Structure 1
Amino acid sequence: MALLTTLGHHLHGWNAGWTAGFVPFCVAQVIMAAAYTVHISTLAEIGAKVPGGSYGFARAVLGFYTGFLVAALELIQYITQTALAVLLVGHLVAPRGFQPLVWAVVYAGVVALHQLRGKLLMQTMLIAVVLGGLLPVGLFLVGSLPHTNFAKHAVWVDNDANTSVWATGSTAFIASLPYTTYAYSGIESI
């Protein structure tokens, strides 16, 4: 489910983020990557000391009731992230009438994949990520490169300074910042 969540959010977040322009979206991605690295490093440090992850940490520090609330909210977060990822995959690959069928196929495929155990599961997931995720992205990038026109579609001209920036405006960075978090939402589900 974490893989599905990550891929679904990548597809949606990148499409929405690139509308702000190349420079703001790349700057926002770098800032979010640094923030997420600090976040994961902190979780790893705490997780090694307190068993149970965030639930165990909240239970040990704030008490049983707060730990229970954290665990319940974390469960709701993972369920909604998975549902949103399946919804986005259906939205991206099928017309409105066929989306429920795509949702069912995706859920069935993910459940079947999780029935595999150990090394076979990891090898299957690696092949699925390479063939199902990276290969289409690579083909799309190579295939669309001859049809791109950055001079027409990706340049913002600042008339006051008589300069051009590869962006859509001065507020584009702030507008694209929420979409950079989509790239990291499924990793936390692991």
Structure 2
Amino acid sequence: MKIDVTEILKTPGAGMSFEVEGDVCAPQGPGESHGAGVFAVRGVATSIGIGVYVDAHAKGSVELICSRCLGSFTKKMELHCEAEFLENPDERLKEDPQEVGVFPLRNGVCDLGEMVRHEILLNLPMKPLCSHGCKGLCPVCGANLNEGDCDCEKSDSGVTVFGRKLLNALNERERGKRNGRS
């Protein structure tokens, strides 16, 4: 997803419209990635003397993993992207290391893929869900409860096996303290 801006670079204030599309891939978590599929990007690039300012809209979809049922699902996204593509971005980053939205301009070409990837990451939900009503996985057998009930014994207490063992251990400890004091 690249645009050539050499024609406008030498004239500050000069602009050009563009429309491109391409694949974007973004990490979801440590060691995980998902395909973002094809994103269409449309916008305007304006020369700012030391580089180019890009104001664009991106539209596409990302492939996510549900945090409850671990199933794969597609989420449509529409993003507003603003960024500066500079011939020497390191100088800007030395001034303000926390600066976001600054990308390198290489040989008069802006690579919009990194800008879109950045916006995707900022707009991803912290815990993606395939649906608001996702039932998740059975804590005993691991079956996807969205596909149907499993045959596991249901506990009304809401306490897991680990929780039950912890409660028993705490109760025994408390009884031991009481018996030791008597």
Range of TM-score over shorter length: under 0.3
- Please tell me whether Structure 1 or Structure 2 has the larger radius of gyration of its CA atoms: 2
TM-score of the superposed pair, with normalisation by structure 2: 0.20
Greater per-residue helix proportion: 1
Greater per-residue strand proportion: 2
Higher relative contact order (CA 8 A, sep 6+): 1
